[in-house]
A and B are shown apart, each in its own frame.
Chain A
């Protein structure tokens, strides 16, 4: 970060007044258009989930299956966000640059947003299909919940008023320990009660209709575009925040100097 450009008013324009650029505007509109297409595909094109049993009964998830196009991409984006936080924290501890620190912070925030969205949509989906909002003992559910809780704690640390370097270093260690912890939680819940309701990946098992598969893949693409858009804006906001802090320090210093000069002038000294 350069400090030379922040002291005089003429240079203040160096810090941009917006977090958007031509690239993010294009990306934003593309994401919005993609989302509109996704809604149309998910509600109009994909058929409801039904199967006919040998007895002639119609079974399946019916319209509830459409939640897949929000739930699955949310989960992937949440894990992408947390994974990025982990990598950025490692990189911060190695290189100690603000860039990695801001990257870790921004991706953690987005990860928590999508993590909560995953839990909420999963819960809503679970009610009609599993007849329960929540299932203790389900590895994926409990791991996701603890993961979100760990990163909510991480964000709490990031909000504390403290020296920037101290906060950055401790946050990085917390992110690393949190990632290690997720593995332990996952294993322990698996041993605790392995009565999982959550299905295995349908993508890998290839038990999925072509329309559904295409829409799901499309939802990943829209999700990734949304993630990139959010990350760019969040990163720039955080960068501007750090610039403002720097500016305020510089201005406070300049004011103190001006006061000292005025006092000298009053006493008749140059």
Chain B
């Protein structure tokens, strides 16, 4: 289909559009379906973008870091911590290493035990935060050396739990995009059904138009234009409602975790604007295909 054909199909011609009666349940069905699908598409898009951001954040924040845990009797803890920092200071690929303060460790435990935890009375291991350089450190080699020089040290390079988290976030993102594709497919199917019903209901009008010399393109245009514009306006309403709902969601916070981060950021706010145009394109193709097939059947 050439650009000229598409322009011709979409060009408004109020008189030509009047050949198809403007009423009928298919009009309401198309508006409702495109509006509802656009509303859902906004959420699927928000989910997908938020998941992508989360995967990126987890990936980048945790990829360059590791944690060393010193499990030792209280009287050896300081010495082993010092020894571990010495080893780390000599290890290639370690940009920096520092022992967490008592306050920082208490803050890490406070979500589970509260803020008034008497840390001094508990046998809490000492944590050392390691920031990797570029290239990163050789975790296996470091473990061997720590095993010999700091017996209570356990190196955690976050790989074990980072990868499933990032994978989960990526899966969510994929699900979001799959949902958008399914929404597009469902919209196309519903509009095809509505267009077929409309064409069948107007078979007598098509017969009259053919009698007076109308080409299939003229007849199809009247239906295609109507369904495309209905789908567009329905989707505009759906997107506006969807974006309003997303705006009303709680803002991202550490307490709320992932759920409160669902929404758009920066240029992401512009993406839902594309939904009505995509909806109109889907309606255009669905109606054009349905009309071409039906007109062939009716000939």
A, B co-complexed: no
Q: Chain A: residues with CB nearer than 8 A to chain B? A: none
Q: Chain B: residues with CB nearer than 8 A to chain A? A: none
